[in-house]
């Protein structure tokens, strides 16, 4: 009887490529190591897609120049001299004349001061100037010394009596000029000085020359009577 060689024992082997596993559990069992440990999964590195450079941005285009508007060319005015401002008009001073002889001038001046105070004038706004002899009130104040006398002018709180040739700065709202002596030239000069010290009213007691007479006549609007 012929002896046949033993047929090789066919063991189950892994399927070939492209052949799927019959069951998912069989595939997991085959991937597990022989020792029975947890199967290891080898990480797969996926290459990042290459960046494709895009088109470069075009530089901004310059704005087209604006077309000039039709019209006549503008003329630039040449700088000229600045216009002069009108000078401020000097305040008008009213001039009143009280006819009196040199002997009567002081008495008429005191009456004029009383009338100014009765009309509401502030005593600090009245200045009395004498052309001849000093006013009795001025002589009384000088008896206490010149320092005290001139301090009253600086304080400006009351009627002040002084000589018409006063050299210190003094301006009052109302000035009373007493022509109680002196030469006509001195009286005329005293009138000019007194007019410059008054801001609203000048009362001339006596004759201070033609300039004072004309100013008093123009202020009153009628001829000056003696």
Give 127's strand partners.
160, 175
Give the distance, in angstroms, between the CA of residue 161 and the centroid of all CA atoms in the same chain.
Answer: 43
Q: What is the mean pLDDT of residues 207-212?
A: 90
- CATH number of the CATH domain containing 105: 3.40.50.300
**Which whole-number Å values give the CA distances from 73 to 65, 66, 77, in the listed order?**
19, 17, 13
Distance CA 96, CA 177 (A): 10
Our count of domains for the chain comes to 1
Quick check: is 38 in a domain?
no
Quick check: is 99 in a domain?
yes
Distance CA 91, CA 94 (A): 10
Which residue segment(s) compose the domain that 212 sits in? 94-220
Distance CA 153, CA 173 (A): 14
Q: In this predicted model, what pLDDT tens digit does every residue of 44-85 receive, in sequence order?
A: 554 555 555 555 555 566 555 555 555 555 655 566 666 566
**Beta strand ranges found along 118-208 (DSSP E):** 126-130, 160-163, 172-178, 198-205
**Beta strand ranges found along the chain (DSSP E):** 94-98, 126-130, 160-163, 172-178, 198-205
pLDDT at 224 over 80: no
Angle at 44 between CA 38 and CA 47, to 5 degrees: 165
Is there a contact between 93 and 202 (Cβ–Cβ < 8 Å)? Answer: yes
Residue 63's pLDDT is what? Answer: 59
Q: In this predicted model, what pLDDT tens digit does every residue of 153-181 receive, in sequence order?
A: 998 889 999 999 999 999 999 999 999 99
Angle at 172 between CA 166 and CA 173, to 5 degrees: 145
Quick check: is 145 in a domain?
yes
pLDDT at 14 over 80: no
Quick check: is 68 in a domain?
no
Q: Angle 184-197/210-220 helices, nearest 10 degrees?
A: 40
Residue 3's pLDDT is what? Answer: 53
**Terminus-to-terminus CA distance in the chain, angstroms?**
196
Quick check: is 56 in a domain?
no
Quick check: is 194 in a domain?
yes
Quick check: is 41 in a domain?
no
Quick check: is 148 in a domain?
yes
């Amino acid at each position: 009887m012929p002896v046949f060689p033993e047929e090789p024992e066919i063991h189950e082997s892994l399927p070939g490529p492209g052949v799927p596993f019959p069951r998912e559990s069989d595939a997991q069992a085959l991937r597990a190591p022989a020792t029975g440990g947890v199967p290891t999964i080898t990480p797969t590195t996926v290459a990042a897609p290459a960046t494709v450079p895009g088109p470069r941005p075009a530089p901004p285009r310059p704005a087209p120049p604006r077309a000039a508007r039709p019209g006549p060319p503008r003329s630039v005015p040449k700088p000229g001299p600045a216009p002069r401002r009108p000078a401020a008009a000097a305040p008008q001073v009213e001039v009143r004349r009280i006819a009196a002889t040199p002997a009567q001038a002081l008495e008429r001046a005191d009456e004029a001061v009383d009338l100014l105070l009765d009309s509401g004038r502030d005593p600090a706004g009245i200045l009395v100037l004498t052309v001849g002899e000093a006013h009795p009130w001025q002589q009384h104040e000088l008896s206490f010394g010149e320092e005290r006398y001139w301090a009253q002018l600086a304080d400006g709180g009351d009627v002040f009596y002084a000589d018409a040739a006063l050299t210190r700065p003094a301006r009052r709202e109302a000035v009373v000029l007493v022509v109680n002596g002196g030469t006509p030239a001195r009286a005329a000069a005293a009138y000019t000085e007194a007019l410059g010290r008054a801001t609203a009213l000048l009362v001339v007691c006596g004759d201070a020359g033609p300039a004072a007479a004309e100013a008093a006549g123009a202020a009153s609007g009628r001829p000056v009577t003696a």
